[in-house]
Chain A
Amino acid sequence: DGGITQSPKYLFRKEGQNVTLSCEQNLNHDAMYWYRQDPGQGLRLIYYSQIVNDFQKGDIAEGYSVSREKKESFPLTVTSAQKNPTAFYLCASSGIPGANVLTFGAGSRLTVL
Protein backbone atom coordinates (compact mmCIF):
# COMPACT_ATOMS: atom_id res chain seq x y z
CA ASP A 1 0.00 0.00 0.00
CA GLY A 2 1.18 3.49 -0.80
CA GLY A 3 1.86 5.86 2.02
CA ILE A 4 4.32 7.74 4.16
CA THR A 5 6.52 6.03 6.74
CA GLN A 6 8.01 8.04 9.56
CA SER A 7 10.57 6.68 11.99
CA PRO A 8 11.18 6.43 14.80
CA LYS A 9 7.72 6.82 16.33
CA TYR A 10 9.20 7.87 19.68
CA LEU A 11 12.61 9.41 20.26
CA PHE A 12 14.35 10.71 23.34
CA ARG A 13 17.29 13.06 23.12
CA LYS A 14 19.60 14.72 25.56
CA GLU A 15 20.10 18.45 25.34
CA GLY A 16 22.86 19.40 22.94
CA GLN A 17 22.41 16.39 20.66
CA ASN A 18 21.31 16.46 17.05
CA VAL A 19 18.67 13.96 15.98
CA THR A 20 17.38 12.97 12.54
CA LEU A 21 13.80 11.98 11.81
CA SER A 22 13.17 9.82 8.79
CA CYS A 23 10.36 10.30 6.26
CA GLU A 24 9.91 7.97 3.29
CA GLN A 25 7.06 7.95 0.76
CA ASN A 26 6.15 5.54 -2.02
CA LEU A 27 3.38 7.67 -3.51
CA ASN A 28 5.56 9.12 -6.25
CA HIS A 29 4.73 12.57 -4.90
CA ASP A 30 6.94 15.48 -5.87
CA ALA A 31 6.31 17.73 -2.87
CA MET A 32 7.14 16.90 0.73
CA TYR A 33 6.69 18.84 3.95
CA TRP A 34 7.63 18.83 7.62
CA TYR A 35 5.25 20.19 10.24
CA ARG A 36 5.60 20.61 13.95
CA GLN A 37 2.58 20.11 16.18
CA ASP A 38 2.34 21.55 19.68
CA PRO A 39 -0.73 21.47 21.94
CA GLY A 40 -3.07 24.37 21.20
CA GLN A 41 -0.98 25.65 18.29
CA GLY A 42 -2.05 23.48 15.42
CA LEU A 43 0.51 22.65 12.75
CA ARG A 44 3.39 24.90 11.82
CA LEU A 45 5.44 24.44 8.67
CA ILE A 46 9.17 23.83 9.19
CA TYR A 47 10.48 23.07 5.69
CA TYR A 48 9.08 22.03 2.35
CA SER A 49 10.46 20.63 -0.88
CA GLN A 50 8.76 20.76 -4.24
CA ILE A 51 11.35 18.74 -6.17
CA VAL A 52 14.51 16.74 -5.59
CA ASN A 53 17.56 18.76 -4.54
CA ASP A 54 15.45 21.79 -3.70
CA PHE A 55 13.85 22.86 -0.43
CA GLN A 56 12.59 26.04 1.19
CA LYS A 57 12.21 27.30 4.74
CA GLY A 58 8.78 27.38 6.23
CA ASP A 59 7.54 29.50 9.10
CA ILE A 60 9.72 28.01 11.87
CA ALA A 61 12.90 26.70 10.19
CA GLU A 62 15.40 27.94 12.79
CA GLY A 63 17.21 25.05 14.47
CA TYR A 64 16.20 22.53 11.80
CA SER A 65 17.79 21.26 8.60
CA VAL A 66 16.63 19.00 5.77
CA SER A 67 17.87 17.32 2.61
CA ARG A 68 16.11 16.02 -0.48
CA GLU A 69 18.53 13.79 -2.34
CA LYS A 70 15.87 11.33 -3.46
CA LYS A 71 12.26 11.82 -4.42
CA GLU A 72 11.15 9.27 -1.85
CA SER A 73 13.03 10.65 1.15
CA PHE A 74 12.94 13.92 3.12
CA PRO A 75 14.78 13.55 6.46
CA LEU A 76 14.58 16.26 9.10
CA THR A 77 17.47 16.99 11.49
CA VAL A 78 16.63 18.71 14.75
CA THR A 79 19.83 20.43 15.77
CA SER A 80 21.06 21.55 19.16
CA ALA A 81 20.24 25.10 18.08
CA GLN A 82 16.52 24.36 18.32
CA LYS A 83 15.62 25.82 21.71
CA ASN A 84 12.43 23.89 22.37
CA PRO A 85 12.51 20.70 20.29
CA THR A 86 10.05 18.60 22.30
CA ALA A 87 7.07 18.19 19.97
CA PHE A 88 5.19 15.91 17.61
CA TYR A 89 6.64 16.04 14.09
CA LEU A 90 4.56 15.26 11.02
CA CYS A 91 5.80 14.60 7.51
CA ALA A 92 3.44 15.05 4.56
CA SER A 93 3.51 14.86 0.79
CA SER A 94 1.44 15.96 -2.18
CA GLY A 95 1.55 15.44 -5.91
CA ILE A 96 1.99 18.59 -7.99
CA PRO A 97 1.05 20.47 -10.06
CA GLY A 98 -2.46 21.33 -8.97
CA ALA A 99 -2.36 19.11 -5.91
CA ASN A 100 -4.96 19.82 -3.31
CA VAL A 101 -4.52 17.18 -0.68
CA LEU A 102 -1.75 16.43 1.80
CA THR A 103 -1.03 12.84 2.79
CA PHE A 104 0.47 12.54 6.27
CA GLY A 105 2.67 10.05 8.00
CA ALA A 106 1.86 8.78 11.50
CA GLY A 107 4.27 11.20 13.13
CA SER A 108 7.35 11.10 15.35
CA ARG A 109 7.27 12.26 18.96
CA LEU A 110 10.55 13.79 20.11
CA THR A 111 11.21 14.36 23.78
CA VAL A 112 14.27 16.20 25.03
CA LEU A 113 15.38 15.06 28.46
Chain B
Amino acid sequence: GDSVTQMEGPVTLSEEAFLTINCTYTATGYPSLFWYVQYPGEGLQLLLKATKADDKGSNKGFEATYRKETTSFHLEKGSVQVSDSAVYFCALRTSGGYQKVTFGTGTKLQVIP
Protein backbone atom coordinates (compact mmCIF):
# COMPACT_ATOMS: atom_id res chain seq x y z
CA GLY B 1 0.00 0.00 0.00
CA ASP B 2 0.88 3.66 -0.12
CA SER B 3 3.15 5.04 2.58
CA VAL B 4 5.05 8.17 3.52
CA THR B 5 8.20 8.21 5.62
CA GLN B 6 9.45 11.37 7.27
CA MET B 7 12.53 12.05 9.31
CA GLU B 8 11.84 11.84 13.01
CA GLY B 9 11.87 14.94 15.10
CA PRO B 10 12.02 17.07 16.93
CA VAL B 11 14.29 19.25 14.86
CA THR B 12 15.74 22.20 16.74
CA LEU B 13 17.36 25.03 14.80
CA SER B 14 18.57 28.51 15.54
CA GLU B 15 16.87 31.40 13.79
CA GLU B 16 18.18 31.97 10.22
CA ALA B 17 19.49 28.40 9.94
CA PHE B 18 18.85 26.24 6.85
CA LEU B 19 16.07 23.68 7.15
CA THR B 20 15.69 20.31 5.49
CA ILE B 21 12.98 17.82 6.43
CA ASN B 22 13.30 14.57 4.50
CA CYS B 23 10.28 12.80 3.03
CA THR B 24 10.18 9.67 0.91
CA TYR B 25 7.15 7.81 -0.35
CA THR B 26 5.91 4.53 -1.75
CA ALA B 27 2.92 4.61 -4.06
CA THR B 28 1.44 3.02 -7.13
CA GLY B 29 0.84 5.20 -10.12
CA TYR B 30 1.60 8.89 -10.10
CA PRO B 31 0.65 10.51 -6.82
CA SER B 32 0.39 14.18 -5.97
CA LEU B 33 2.63 15.24 -3.10
CA PHE B 34 1.96 17.76 -0.34
CA TRP B 35 3.43 19.40 2.70
CA TYR B 36 0.99 20.47 5.41
CA VAL B 37 1.85 22.50 8.52
CA GLN B 38 0.17 22.33 11.92
CA TYR B 39 0.62 25.10 14.47
CA PRO B 40 0.01 24.27 18.13
CA GLY B 41 -3.62 23.48 18.93
CA GLU B 42 -4.77 23.94 15.34
CA GLY B 43 -5.71 21.89 12.31
CA LEU B 44 -3.45 21.34 9.33
CA GLN B 45 -2.91 23.92 6.60
CA LEU B 46 -1.58 23.27 3.13
CA LEU B 47 1.95 24.63 2.80
CA LEU B 48 2.81 23.57 -0.74
CA LYS B 49 2.15 20.87 -3.30
CA ALA B 50 3.46 19.28 -6.49
CA THR B 51 1.39 17.20 -8.85
CA LYS B 52 3.94 15.66 -11.22
CA ALA B 53 7.58 14.69 -11.42
CA ASP B 54 10.12 17.55 -11.34
CA ASP B 55 7.48 20.05 -10.20
CA LYS B 56 8.66 22.40 -7.47
CA GLY B 57 6.16 23.59 -4.90
CA SER B 58 6.92 26.78 -3.00
CA ASN B 59 5.27 29.02 -0.44
CA LYS B 60 6.42 31.38 2.33
CA GLY B 61 10.08 30.65 1.55
CA PHE B 62 9.60 26.89 1.75
CA GLU B 63 10.32 24.70 -1.28
CA ALA B 64 10.06 21.03 -2.20
CA THR B 65 10.78 19.26 -5.50
CA TYR B 66 8.96 16.11 -6.64
CA ARG B 67 11.75 13.62 -7.38
CA LYS B 68 10.30 10.52 -9.01
CA GLU B 69 13.67 8.80 -9.43
CA THR B 70 14.35 8.92 -5.68
CA THR B 71 10.65 8.91 -4.62
CA SER B 72 11.34 11.95 -2.45
CA PHE B 73 9.78 15.31 -1.64
CA HIS B 74 12.14 16.96 0.83
CA LEU B 75 11.10 20.27 2.40
CA GLU B 76 13.67 23.09 2.52
CA LYS B 77 13.88 26.66 3.70
CA GLY B 78 16.94 28.84 3.49
CA SER B 79 16.43 30.85 6.68
CA VAL B 80 13.95 29.75 9.34
CA GLN B 81 12.18 32.06 11.75
CA VAL B 82 10.76 31.48 15.23
CA SER B 83 7.29 31.70 13.67
CA ASP B 84 8.06 28.58 11.58
CA SER B 85 7.95 26.45 14.72
CA ALA B 86 5.25 23.86 14.02
CA VAL B 87 4.71 20.24 13.00
CA TYR B 88 5.21 19.51 9.31
CA PHE B 89 3.45 16.62 7.55
CA CYS B 90 4.36 15.14 4.20
CA ALA B 91 1.45 13.54 2.36
CA LEU B 92 0.52 11.94 -0.92
CA ARG B 93 -2.72 11.54 -2.80
CA THR B 94 -3.14 8.71 -5.23
CA SER B 95 -4.71 9.35 -8.59
CA GLY B 96 -7.95 7.84 -9.79
CA GLY B 97 -10.96 6.56 -7.93
CA TYR B 98 -11.32 7.59 -4.31
CA GLN B 99 -8.64 10.15 -3.67
CA LYS B 100 -7.19 8.81 -0.48
CA VAL B 101 -4.57 10.96 1.21
CA THR B 102 -1.80 9.21 3.14
CA PHE B 103 0.14 11.21 5.73
CA GLY B 104 3.56 10.80 7.24
CA THR B 105 3.97 10.83 11.02
CA GLY B 106 4.95 14.50 11.13
CA THR B 107 8.17 16.27 12.07
CA LYS B 108 8.18 18.82 14.84
CA LEU B 109 10.33 21.88 14.19
CA GLN B 110 11.42 24.19 16.97
CA VAL B 111 13.24 27.38 16.05
CA ILE B 112 15.03 29.18 18.86
CA PRO B 113 16.02 32.87 18.80
Contact = CB atoms under 8 A, between A and B. Distances in A.
A101 B99 contact: no
A109 B46 CA distance: 21
Given A56-B98, A94-B99, A102 B49 contact: no
Nearest to B51: A100
A100 B43 contact: no
Nearest to B45: A104
A45 B100 contact: yes
Contacts of B42: 106-107
A96 interface: yes
Contacts of A56: 98
A90 B44 contact: yes
B46 A40 contact: no
A25 interface: no
Contacts, number: 52
Interface residues of B, number: 21
A35 B43 CA distance: 11
Nearest to B49: A100
A2 interface: no
Interface string B94-112: 0000111101111000000
B43 A101 contact: no
Interface in A24-47: 31, 33, 35, 40-43, 45
A29 to B, nearest CB: 12
Contacts of B34: 100-101
A85 interface: no
Contact of B43 (A31, A41, A99, A107): A107
